[in-house]
Structure 1
Amino acid sequence: MNLRNLMIWAIMILLLVALFNLLQPPRDAAGSNQIEYSRFIQLVESDQINSVVIDGDQIRSEGANPVHSIYPVEDQQLYQILRDNDVEFEVVPAPSGFNIFGWLLNIFPFLLLIGVWIYFMRQMQGGGRGGAMGFGKSKARLLTEKQGRVTFDDVAGIDEAKEELQEIVEFLKDPSKFQRLGGKIPKGALLIGPPGTGKTLTARAVAGEANVPFFTISGSDFVEMFVGVGASRVRDMFEQAKKNAPCIIFIDEIDAVGRSRGAGLGGGNDEREQTLNQLLVEMDGFEANEGIILIAATNRPDVLDPALLRPGRFDRQVVVPNPDIIGREKILKVHMRNVPLSDNVDAKVIARGTPGFSGADLANLVNEAALLAARRNKRLVSMSEFEDAKDKVMMGPERRSMVMSDKEKELTAYHEAGHAIVALNVPAADPVHKATIIPRGRALGMVMQLPENDKLSMTHEEMTSRLAIMMGGRVAEELKFGKEKVTSGAASDIQQATRLARAMVTRWGFSEDLGPVDYGDDQGEVFLGQQLVQSKSVSSETARKIEEEVKGLVQGGMDEARKILTKKKKEWEALSEGLLEYETLSGEEITELLKGNPPDRGSDEPPSKDDMPTGSVPVTDEDEADDKGPETSGGPAPQGA
């Protein structure tokens, strides 16, 4: 509790004490010996009172039985009556002059009430930014700390984005460098990229490099239930920025307030549209806001209003993508600064094994490795912890406590071996990194394929090979146990294969009958949290052809898998037996096992992660992302590809 609150409580207590004293009756009047004035005169005339004291309007007798009465000042006969009855009396003289203390004591409660009323009225009228009537004030937080400042040295893996923002830094440091040549710095920079790529960190680094004040606020902080509040907050935010210019205003998740106006049914939200209108005016209106640079971040640029993206407002759009292998290595080194590492830790090897990871994913990977090392009572984080952390992040934690019957283990082993053998024999496929029948996450088993380099696209040959790999588990169950014994474990495989085949036909033009035409129906606009799909007009005949093409591609993958597993039956069965015995096999161990060389482990324990290849990398293609966590359907059954 601070001093201000203590003073308020002290004043309130004094006020209560003063009011209590005012409401108390006079001390002398509280006695039980008070009598009427006429009775008092009777007692004097009957010689029952010998002496009295007259104090203002109070008259008291002295003696064994004192009494008290109120003396009416207008009675001029009192003194004569006292003399006639030989009653001694004493008159207390009235105080002379003005008693400032008594006056203050009398008016103090009223002054206190007036002061408290004024204080609360100031609070309600916004005397503080958090007052009851202060909701029209900006909620932007000003960051000007000297210690803990973020610079470009703390941001890695997005060199192109840093180059784009370097001009803003130079302008804030030396505006005359650009102004003498007639150049104008962009008023706004929009950072676009998927979640976790470091957009907010990049904005803070710009302010840190330029060493200027940095205002940060979320797009949702502008939106309230009262119309006009958001616009008021925008005005107040720019007023604060003008007082601290040159400065940077950073709005995170600007799509919360910057969506296209008039979209969807019924027009739109008046409050949000008024806030957006005020933001547009402040950025590029009649009044120029010199020295104020607005940086915003979003991962949904497609829903933003075109007026925000025009030159003069957010006229510089900076893409902040997921880092490549070089960027991942740099990001890992940044996050490893404060982690005690073993000599065998190689950031480049870890970067090769984590394609598609964002900066946040890599930070989480380093943190998980550190937690594992602490759990194992190690003083240094070794490569083993990074490998275990990578498997946990990508495939989920191991569920060794899960009880599986021998029949389920056998079925899982043949299912996963089918995936692996097909993957090793199709024309184009990523190397097999690991096969396991130990449940991980929601999968009872899986085969993990990791590309050797970052992949930005897929060829037709890779897609058809991928279809065969996906269907390899289902075909393996049929060949080993018969169609009557096939389980629902291939539900995720079938779903992914169907989605990939449909994309090949409707989006990527891999159908000779339908041609290179986009038949996709997933383009739509978002309104009130729901997607209003604007389906393209496709005739029933075309829809029938699409379904036939999709079925033909999936069936073709299934036929290719059956052909490979029939031809490589001995290798398939050998790998299945190896999985039943060792539970987890690395890519190198699978290759040696198929050559007739079983893994040399010296025990029945699963292989150590130190023996597994660390240069492999996970699948990152859009249609293969579900391999990291296949969904269980139909009860315990083999899952995953």
Structure 2
Amino acid sequence: MEEKSKKIKPGKPKAFNIYWVYGAIFLLFIGMQFIDFGPKSKEIDLYKLQAMISAGDVDNIIIVNREVAEVFLKAEALKKPEYKDFAENGSMFAANKPQFFYTILSLDTFEGSIAAIQKDFSPEQRIKTKNETRKDYFVDILSWLLPLVIIVGLWIYFFRRMSGGGSGGNQVFNIGKSKAKLFDKETGVKVDFKDVAGLEGAKQEVVEIVEFLRNPKKYTELGGKIPKGALLVGPPGTGKTLLARAVAGEANVPFFSLSGSDFVEMFVGVGASRVRDLFKQAKEKAPCIVFIDEIDAIGRSRGKGSNFGGNDERENTLNQLLTEMDGFDSNSGVIILAAT
């Protein structure tokens, strides 16, 4: 009994989202601002501070923003047993790193109590007290940067949703890209005229296009010019799309397929941008066929799209489409097939 091995097509790997990297870096930066990697200063009460001053252990005090008193010990005081924790990590304490701090409830009361303890001290014994006003620039920056990041994040999220989602990190920037599906030798257009039943008259009309795509030099050397394209007209289900694919299959050339509604978006200028991108791709793949189904979605009579005198988005898209077609060189090798 023979077992037929099934070919398993490898799944398409998910596109890497670069915005996760940006988010991780941003969160890491914020986290590092709040993490203290060195020895932490210890909070003390006023009675403990007064005892330390009386013992002559305090070198100086810095009052920060009238709220916190940073207490710095003398070098010889760090040798005492009660300060052994700071002595063991003394090398990690920078000159501006206090060993203790006290939360000030009333600045006047605090200064009065410090002065009362030192009333019998000589000028050399009195500790140095300094007032400082400090600003946390990181908090200030974060206060205006965080709302901006949230707004940009929401903007990117909604743009990605409106432009078709996708897992790519740059999807928001591809809203002006063409949505045309490409069928080439790799994906394969396996349809030819044998698969199209009937439509003999239509087949004869497009044979010239097939011959030109197969052997363009035969026409160009004799000075012949191929039409820029053909319009397939008929009710739904009569084989217009099948005939267009058969032309590409017979000529064995790449085939771009999209609908007229793919050009239109709620954003102004997107349709024209997608037309430009479509024809740019087509020129790179030439000779090829561009098939636009339901072209009447953008091919209405110009001048009737807007009731307020402004430019209609469909009208702009149609103008760009005509401009691209008129700008084609006769030997460009790009054939336009449209159905309606």
Q: What TM-score do you get using the length of structure 1 for normalisation?
A: 0.33
* Aligned: 1:2 with 2:5: no
Counterpart residue type for residue 314 of structure 2: R
Structure 2 matches for 1:85-104, cutoff 5 A?
A: 90=87, 92-93=90-91
* Aligned: 1:19 with 2:60: no
* CA deviation vs aligned residue, 1:339-365 (integer Å, no higher than 9, x gap): xxxxxxxxxxxxxxxxxxxxxxxxxxx
Distance, in Å, in 1 between the alignment partners of 2:331 and 2:266 is: 28
Distance, in Å, in 2 between the alignment partners of 1:265 and 1:26 is: 64
Cα pair distance change 1:289/1:40, threshold 3 Å: farther
Deviation at 1:30, TM superposition (A): 7.0
Asked whether the equivalents of residues 222 and 234 of structure 1 are also in contact (C-alpha less than 8 Å), the reply is yes
Q: CA RMSD in A?
A: 4.8
The number of equivalent residue pairs is: 255
Distance, in Å, in 2 between the alignment partners of 1:186 and 1:265 is: 32
Q: Among residues 290, 293, 300, which one is paired with 2:332 in the alignment?
A: 290
Counterpart residue type for residue 16 of structure 2: R
Asked whether the equivalents of residues 242 and 289 of structure 1 are also in contact (C-alpha less than 8 Å), the reply is no
Asked whether the equivalents of residues 192 and 247 of structure 2 are also in contact (C-alpha less than 8 Å), the reply is yes
* CA deviation vs aligned residue, 1:109-145 (integer Å, no higher than 9, x gap): x9xx9xxx8x989998x9x797435433322222224
Match of 1:143 in 2: 183
Deviation at 1:227, TM superposition (A): 4.4
Match of 2:302 in 1: 261
Deviation at 1:247, TM superposition (A): 1.1
* CA deviation vs aligned residue, 1:570-625 (integer Å, no higher than 9, x gap): xxxxxxxxxxxxxxxxxxxxxxxxxxxxxxxxxxxxxxxxxxxxxxxxxxxxxxxx
* Aligned: 1:250 with 2:291: yes
Distance, in Å, in 2 between the alignment partners of 1:169 and 1:19 is: 62
Match of 1:210 in 2: 251
Deviation at 1:21, TM superposition (A): 4.9
Distance, in Å, in 2 between the alignment partners of 1:264 and 1:26 is: 65
* Aligned: 1:180 with 2:221: yes
Distance, in Å, in 1 between the alignment partners of 2:51 and 2:264 is: 78
Deviation at 1:248, TM superposition (A): 0.8
Match of 2:318 in 1: 276
Asked whether the equivalents of residues 37 and 70 of structure 1 are also in contact (C-alpha less than 8 Å), the reply is no
* CA deviation vs aligned residue, 1:254-304 (integer Å, no higher than 9, x gap): 122222234699689632222222222211248667111000011xxxxxx
Rg comparison, structure with higher value: 1
Match of 2:65 in 1: none
Distance, in Å, in 1 between the alignment partners of 2:305 and 2:50 is: 91
Match of 1:157 in 2: 198
* CA deviation vs aligned residue, 1:292-341 (integer Å, no higher than 9, x gap): 1000011xxxxxxxxxxxxxxxxxxxxxxxxxxxxxxxxxxxxxxxxxxx
Distance, in Å, in 1 between the alignment partners of 2:169 and 2:201 is: 39
Asked whether the equivalents of residues 305 and 314 of structure 2 are also in contact (C-alpha less than 8 Å), the reply is no
Structure 2 matches for 1:500-539, cutoff 5 A?
A: none
Asked whether the equivalents of residues 136 and 232 of structure 1 are also in contact (C-alpha less than 8 Å), the reply is yes
Cα pair distance change 1:264/1:81, threshold 3 Å: closer
Match of 1:516 in 2: none
Greater relative contact order: 1 or 2 (C-alpha under 8 angstroms, separation 6 or more)? 2
Cα pair distance change 1:179/1:227, threshold 3 Å: same
Deviation at 1:190, TM superposition (A): 1.0
Match of 2:172 in 1: 132
Counterpart residue type for residue 186 of structure 1: P
Counterpart residue type for residue 179 of structure 1: T
Match of 1:40 in 2: 52
Task: Structure 1 unaligned segments of length 5 or more: list them.
Answer: 50-56, 58-68, 96-106, 299-641
Asked whether the equivalents of residues 183 and 256 of structure 2 are also in contact (C-alpha less than 8 Å), the reply is yes
Distance, in Å, in 1 between the alignment partners of 2:83 and 2:304 is: 100
Deviation at 1:80, TM superposition (A): 6.0
Cα pair distance change 1:34/1:4, threshold 3 Å: farther
Task: Structure 2 unaligned segments of length 5 or more: list them.
Answer: 1-12, 62-68, 94-137
* Aligned: 1:230 with 2:271: yes
* Aligned: 1:221 with 2:232: no
Asked whether the equivalents of residues 183 and 189 of structure 2 are also in contact (C-alpha less than 8 Å), the reply is no
Counterpart residue type for residue 222 of structure 1: F
Distance, in Å, in 1 between the alignment partners of 2:207 and 2:294 is: 22
Deviation at 1:27, TM superposition (A): 7.7
Counterpart residue type for residue 52 of structure 2: F
Match of 1:407 in 2: none
* CA deviation vs aligned residue, 1:11-51 (integer Å, no higher than 9, x gap): 63564355345324678547566776654243x46xxx9xx
Distance, in Å, in 2 between the alignment partners of 1:240 and 1:141 is: 11
Residue 172 of structure 2 aligns to a residue whose secondary structure is coil
Structure 2 matches for 1:317-466, cutoff 5 A?
A: none
Q: Which sits farther off after the overlay, 227-236 or 239-248? A: 227-236
Asked whether the equivalents of residues 260 and 292 of structure 2 are also in contact (C-alpha less than 8 Å), the reply is yes
Residue 189 of structure 1 aligns to a residue whose secondary structure is strand
Distance, in Å, in 1 between the alignment partners of 2:261 and 2:78 is: 87
Cα pair distance change 1:169/1:10, threshold 3 Å: same
Asked whether the equivalents of residues 175 and 270 of structure 2 are also in contact (C-alpha less than 8 Å), the reply is yes
Q: What TM-score do you get using the length of structure 2 for normalisation?
A: 0.58
Distance, in Å, in 2 between the alignment partners of 1:18 and 1:195 is: 58
Cα pair distance change 1:289/1:275, threshold 3 Å: farther
Asked whether the equivalents of residues 235 and 282 of structure 1 are also in contact (C-alpha less than 8 Å), the reply is yes
Residue 16 of structure 2 aligns to a residue whose secondary structure is helix
Asked whether the equivalents of residues 289 and 335 of structure 2 are also in contact (C-alpha less than 8 Å), the reply is yes
Asked whether the equivalents of residues 249 and 293 of structure 1 are also in contact (C-alpha less than 8 Å), the reply is yes
Deviation at 1:228, TM superposition (A): 3.5
Deviation at 1:214, TM superposition (A): 1.2
Residue 203 of structure 2 aligns to a residue whose secondary structure is helix
Counterpart residue type for residue 276 of structure 1: L
Distance, in Å, in 1 between the alignment partners of 2:92 and 2:16 is: 43
Q: Which sits farther off after the overlay, 277-286 or 32-41? A: 32-41
